[in-house]
Amino acid sequence: MRSWPTIDVPALPGDPRPLRLYDTAADEVRATAPGQTAKIYVCGITPYDATHLGHAATYLAFDLVQRMWLDAGHRVHYVQNVTDVDDPLLERAAATGISWSELAERETELYRQDMTALRVLPPSEYVGVVESVDEIAEAVAKLLADDHAYWLEDDVYARTSTNGRFGYESRYSREQMLPLFAERGGDPDRPGKRDRLDALLWRGRRDGEPFWDTAVGAGRPGWHVECSVIACNRLGMGIDVQGGGSDLRFPHHEHSAAHAEALSGQWPFARHYVHAGMISLDGEKMSKSRGNLVFVSKLRGAGVDPMALRLALLDGHYRSDREWTGGRLPQAERRLASWRQASSAAAGPDALPVLDRMRDRLCDDLDTSGAMAAVDRWARLTLEQTADAADPAAPALVARAVDALLGVKL
């Protein structure tokens, strides 16, 4: 599938540092340790509605992960999927009278435009489920052959019990898992399942639903296995980061990891499982199903500078659940204006300590607020002209750092 245009990331002087990130599975902040090429998979959208601020905030967090790795001299192999066939998409298409594939195509294109405007680095491989049906079906056939899966009527389920480590990713007890599984697309009460937590791998052909003729017969892929297969076939096992919002901690990332591990016989699927907090509006998680959405494209259409929006979304820790309020945007606009003014000044205080502080904060589990405070301080000193020494090279260098590390073009 077509990705979106690449974005230049300027190189910076000084000493980059290894990125430390919170890993849900280990319940601690640990150093990431990528090889020459860092490998990251971030779960993509289900394109039945436009990109809202919750999506944008999550993709921005993983954008910063890559910017820190790039700064440290790594190449990045980044894969993202598009869940371009799934129940919610089919339901929305039926309700609005448009074909599911047209709906997916339209919303995916809008997402590309939103990501481009926000200067989010594009994935090296942007992969739809529809274009991956055959490889997913082959994986399901292998899981069946290896007895990690079983037929239930025309559908195929994964055996949760064959993974001795099931639960390691989310660290949830079975009692915590069951309601979340039911809430987030699972079917714990379907008669005939070996275990209530077993996840659907393949949904046999149903009247009125799209299907493909494949190695496991006619049907379409289940949700979790799509990500296991798309990721593994391109990145292999032991990827550096598996990313998404905290609503994917269970069941999605648990089952995705379990399927990948059953398929490959290797462990773990990912070395870090990283989850961004939920953005809410009026106290409720922003979600397509609730409809309490603020769309990136609407704000862009109303003339909001995407760089201000980017700053507004980065102002707060990526892991905490955050409330979107109307005041965030004007505050970010003021900050952006002051940074722009300072970065076009004739001179400013030495930029290297600012770079150092930004790196120090960002490599510590992406403390964006701390990094932004360092730029604020420098901008204030520059605009007040109160610093003892002023370096004519500093404004351009701070602008470069803000571009490379925070992705904000001044």
Residues that bind ligand 5CA (CB under 6 A): 43-46, 54-55, 57-58, 81, 83, 227, 244-245, 247-248, 276, 278-279, 285-287
In this complex, which beta carbon is closest to ligand 5CA, that of residue 22 or of residue 378?
A: 22
In this complex, which beta carbon is closest to Zn ion, that of residue 52 or of residue 252?
A: 252
C-alpha span between 260 and 263 (Å, rounded) = 5
Site map (CB under 5 A) of Zn ion, residues 9-48, x = contact:
----------------------------------x-----
- The residue count of the chain comes to 410
Whole-number minimum distance, CB 134 to ligand 5CA, in Å?
19
Whole-number minimum distance, CB 81 to ligand 5CA, in Å?
6
Contact flag: residue 227 with Zn ion (CB under 5 A): yes
Residue 346 tokens, joined: 């004739």
Whole-number minimum distance, CB 338 to ligand 5CA, in Å?
28
In this complex, which beta carbon is closest to ligand 5CA, that of residue 45 or of residue 342?
A: 45
Collapsing DSSP to helix, strand or coil, 304 comes out as coil
- Choose the one of ligand 5CA, Zn ion, none that binds residue 245, judging by a C-beta under 5 to 8 angstroms depending on kind: ligand 5CA
In this complex, which beta carbon is closest to Zn ion, that of residue 227 or of residue 296?
A: 227
Cis amide bond preceding 251, omega within 30: yes
C-alpha span between 337 and 170 (Å, rounded) = 41
Whole-number minimum distance, CB 320 to Zn ion, in Å?
22
53-71 vs 100-117: helix crossing angle, rounded to 10 = 50
In this complex, which beta carbon is closest to ligand 5CA, that of residue 61 or of residue 262?
A: 61
93 burial type by CB count under 10 A (0-12 exposed, 13-18 middle, 19+ buried): middle
Whole-number minimum distance, CB 227 to ligand 5CA, in Å?
5
In this complex, which beta carbon is closest to Zn ion, that of residue 228 or of residue 343?
A: 228
Determine contact, residues 362/69, Cβ cutoff 8 Å. Answer: no
How far from each other are the two terminal CA atoms of the chain, in whole angstroms? 31
C-alpha span between 55 and 44 (Å, rounded) = 9
52-90 burial, b at 16+ Cβ within 10 Å, e below that, comes to: bbbbbbbbbbbbbbbbbbbbbebebbbbbbbbbbbeebb
Binding site for Zn ion (CB under 5 A): 43, 227
